[in-house]
Amino acid sequence: MEMMLLNGSGPAEGAEALREGAGEATVRAEGEELALLEWVTETEDENRFRLMDRIVEYATSGKCTRVRAEFRALGNNEAMREFLAQFGFTMMGGDDEGGLWILPVAAYEPMGE
């Protein structure tokens, strides 16, 4: 299992863990945004697609219109930057060290089978 932290902050008050197979994501609703705080999965695990679908379903059920991820390069989490782009997140600001990534829930197309 590889832990891919987004920003190194760890779990926060009011956060909830979502699980799919061996993968886990920690999220917290913040108004119209669902903050994606942590992502834990195997890099090659196909469950990562179902986990992202679950995150978007959770956002939708909570009336969130977007998912937000604050990525900060930590040296051991570069694959997370690729995952964000793969799932349709757009970098809204930042540099090679990190930045804010946003995924409009309405634009997400489920990838899990």
Q: Indicate whether 112 belongs to any domain.
A: no
- 51: domain range? 2-107
Question: For the chain, how many structural domains are there in total?
Answer: 1
Query: Quick one: pLDDT at residue 11?
Result: 53
Domain-located, residue 25: yes
Note whether residue 16 is domain-resident: yes
Are the C-beta atoms of 103 and 66 separated by less than 8 Å? Answer: yes
Q: How far is 102 from 66, CA to CA, in rounded Å?
A: 7
Instruction: Note whether residue 113 is domain-resident.
Output: no
89 lies in some domain? yes
Specify the length of the chain in residues: 113
DSSP 4-38: EESSS----TT-EEEEETTEEEEEEEETTEEEEEE
**Is position 79 within any domain?**
yes
**Whole-number pLDDT of residue 58:** 93
| Per-residue pLDDT in tens (0 to 9) along the chain, 113 residues | 444 545 545 556 678 888 887 788 889 999 999 999 888 776 566 777 888 899 999 999 989 999 999 887 777 667 777 888 888 999 998 777 778 899 999 999 888 76
pLDDT at 102: 95
Partners of 33 in the β-ladder:
30, 66
Residue 12 is part of a domain; what is its CATH number?
Answer: 3.40.630.30
